Amino acid sequence: MDQSIVALIAAIVGEDGYSTSKARTYTYGFDASIYRGQPDIVVQPRTTEQVSELMKVANENLIPVVPRGGGTGLCGSAVPIKGGMVLDMSRMDGVERISVADLLCVVQPGVVYDDLNKALAPYGFFFPPTPGSGEACQIGGMVALNASGMRAIKYGATRDYVLGMTFVKANGEIVQAGTGTLKDSSGYQLARLMVASEGTLGVITEVILKISPKPKSSAMALAAFPGPEQAGEFVAALIAEPLIPSSLELMDSVSINAVNQALGGPLPDCQALCMVEVDGDPMIVDKELAVVKEVAERQGATTVETTHDKVQMAAWSKSRQAVMTSLSSLRPGHSSVSLADDMVLPVSRIPEAVKAYQAIAERNGVTVATYGHAADGNLHTKMLIDPRSEEQWLAAEKAVREIFQATIELGGSVSGEHGVGMSKAPDFILERRSALSTMVEIKKALDPNNILNPGKLHQWEEDGLLGPLRYPCDPKSVE
Ligand SMILES: Cc1cc2nc3c(=O)[nH]c(=O)nc-3n(C[C@H](O)[C@H](O)[C@H](O)COP(=O)(O)OP(=O)(O)OC[C@H]3O[C@@H](n4cnc5c(N)ncnc54)[C@H](O)[C@@H]3O)c2cc1C
């Protein structure tokens, strides 16, 4: 990067607010996805005004800018594939206001999810989305990806809690969107537009979030099934009762084996299982737990365990959250890679989807683990491959494209919570064909020089999804 531009940036954030060192910029080339890039400079602003000044410099000099939260994204959204400036928001990490009477809090984007809930706990409130990465991901990243997690079925996703925000446009203009009120019918919902925009429309510098009272009690059931289809049918039957659990996680046999191998067998040895949590008033919790057990048995569960014990519940939840990391230890020399990792379907189509994904895996000779937040239709499929083998990457890519196609045919979408980034871009483009030109117009209006996170979403330029991979066999690797 030109030294005169570095000097302009230094004048805005000070000498300790940026780095061009090869080692530091290298570490900002990755997120938790399969991709890598190489930024020219990493900048750590402390205020909205600094972000505004930085954007003016970037816009005038046509420097790509990638805002970055915790870097835990799974589809490459925060990877700087065009170089330029990574804007690390982690120094803007203040919880500015908690107002229980107004049911809201005001936070800076760099606040880590778990830290926000620690700050809300003494008031008896929480911010519910519960991503599995809660100890590291930041509010700005969650808003920019519309993150959610196990509790989305009952409590919704991040978008359902965003009341307002401050964001900085590509030209440095500061915009206050939305309000500090629970309702708002005053014109375009610009804060909503920023949700899931993946850093392509503006830099979020403050967020007003709705908060929820913490449930008084909870209980869990663990139901084992002879196969994933029966587990999928149980999910649909439970919701049809009607019963909305606070979470309902499905795991197939590959996921169960991986966790049992890595953690020493905490889960029943079966073909598929559902982990159900109910929460609320203690009397309602007991009634709902009994319904869960009855429906699971009616739908062919081979065993159903229930518990109110917090230690047991934490152990079950931990084993579910361990799926992703456990998969990599299942087969020596193989790694679990995030490819088709968070498709969302109408809940009634889950049994068909699970069956279709298994057939696709077998047809393409790849190991696929299917698990996820089944009650809101959100399934994760992780591929287990030898990342040094180009042949296996190509087989995985083919399987992924078929999984996306099957999902779209079943009325679903390529991403329910992780975003599009790069790994889902080709199929996102096919899925949202009729909305693409409107998206392009919005992008041009807010970022005419295309400096904000270029090359992502509808701007993806590769044929398939194997872009600049972080693995050694990658022919397209960025040097
Ligand atoms: C082990 C593990 C478990 C996970 N479990 C879940 C889960 O259960 N549910 C789920 O939804 N996701 C999950 N994820 C994915 C990921 O953690 C979430 O999507 C999370 O919201 C990303 O937040 P982040 O702060 O790390 O964002 P990053 O990865 O840093 O960035 C993500 C995107 O947000 C943009 N961005 C970041 N900050 C800003 C800002 N201030 N202004 C504008 N744009 C910004 C970036 O440019 C990028 O496009 C998981 C990831 C891992 C590694």
Contact residues for 323 (Cβ-Cβ < 8 A; gap 6+): 251, 255, 258, 259, 369, 371, 380, 382
Name the band, by pLDDT with cuts 50, 70 and 90, for residue 475. Answer: low
Question: What is the pLDDT at residue 296?
Answer: 97
Mean pLDDT value across the chain: 94
Strand stretches in 34-100, DSSP E: 41-43, 65-68, 85-88, 95-99
Q: What is the β-pairing status of strands 335-337 and 303-307?
A: unpaired
- In the chain, how many H helices and how many E strands? 16, 19
- What is the average pLDDT across 181-204? 97
- What is the average pLDDT across 228-253? 93
Asked if residue 360 has pLDDT above 50, the reply is yes
Name the band, by pLDDT with cuts 50, 70 and 90, for residue 476. Answer: low
Separation of CA 68 and ligand 1 centre (Å): 9
Best probe residue, ligand 1, of 91, 133, 135 (max atoms within 8 Å of C-beta):
133
- Residue 94 vs residue 462, higher pLDDT: 94
Separation of CA 149 and ligand 1 centre (Å): 12
Name the band, by pLDDT with cuts 50, 70 and 90, for residue 474. Answer: low
Separation of CA 265 and ligand 1 centre (Å): 30
Best probe residue, ligand 1, of 137, 146, 248, 457 (max atoms within 8 Å of C-beta):
137
- What is the average pLDDT across 234-248? 94
Separation of CA 71 and ligand 1 centre (Å): 6
Name the band, by pLDDT with cuts 50, 70 and 90, for residue 478. Answer: very low
What tokens does 165 get? 């925000």
Separation of CA 66 and ligand 1 centre (Å): 13
Name the band, by pLDDT with cuts 50, 70 and 90, for residue 44. Answer: very high
Q: Which atom of ligand 1 is nearest to the CA of 92?
A: 41
Asked if residue 47 has pLDDT above 70, the reply is yes
Contact residues for 4 (Cβ-Cβ < 8 A; gap 6+): none
pLDDT digits (tens, 9 = 90+) for 8-39: 999 999 999 999 999 999 999 999 999 999 99
- What is the average pLDDT across 309-331? 91
Name the band, by pLDDT with cuts 50, 70 and 90, for residue 235. Answer: very high
Question: What is the pLDDT at residue 411?
Answer: 95
Question: What is the pLDDT at residue 321?
Answer: 87
In the chain, the domains with their CATH numbers are 3-90 (3.30.43.10), 92-213 (3.30.465.10), 217-326 (3.30.70.2190), 335-448 (3.30.70.2740)
What tokens does 469 get? 């991979």
Nearest protein Cα to ligand 1, atom 18: 73
User: Percent of the chain, pLDDT > 90?
Assistant: 81
Choose from 235-239, 296-300, 393-397 the range with maximum mean pLDDT. 296-300
User: Percent of the chain, pLDDT > 70?
Assistant: 99
Separation of CA 423 and ligand 1 centre (Å): 14
For residue 28, the one-letter residue type is Y
pLDDT digits (tens, 9 = 90+) for 53-64: 999 999 999 999
pTM of the model: 0.95
**Cα distance between residue 223 and residue 270, in whole Å:** 10
pLDDT digits (tens, 9 = 90+) for 175-184: 999 999 999 9
- What is the average pLDDT across 231-246? 93
Closest CA to 33 of 340, 407, 389, 395: 340
Q: Is residue 139 a contact partner of residue 208, using CB atoms and an 8 Å limit? A: no
Asked if residue 305 has pLDDT above 50, the reply is yes
Asked if residue 316 has pLDDT above 60, the reply is yes
- What is the average pLDDT across 118-142? 96
Q: Is residue 166 a contact partner of residue 208, using CB atoms and an 8 Å limit? A: no
**Cα distance between residue 78 and residue 136, in whole Å:** 14
Q: Is residue 47 a contact partner of residue 94, using CB atoms and an 8 Å limit? A: no
**Cα distance between residue 262 and residue 246, in whole Å:** 27
- Residue 222 vs residue 467, higher pLDDT: 222
Question: What is the pLDDT at residue 336?
Answer: 87
Closest CA to 334 of 405, 414, 265, 254: 254
- What is the average pLDDT across 308-334? 90
Other Cβ atoms less than 10 A from the Cβ of 42: the count is 23
- What is the average pLDDT across 341-359? 90
Closest CA to 108 of 122, 124, 119, 123: 119
pLDDT digits (tens, 9 = 90+) for 145-171: 999 998 999 999 999 999 999 999 999
Closest CA to 94 of 82, 105, 79, 78: 105
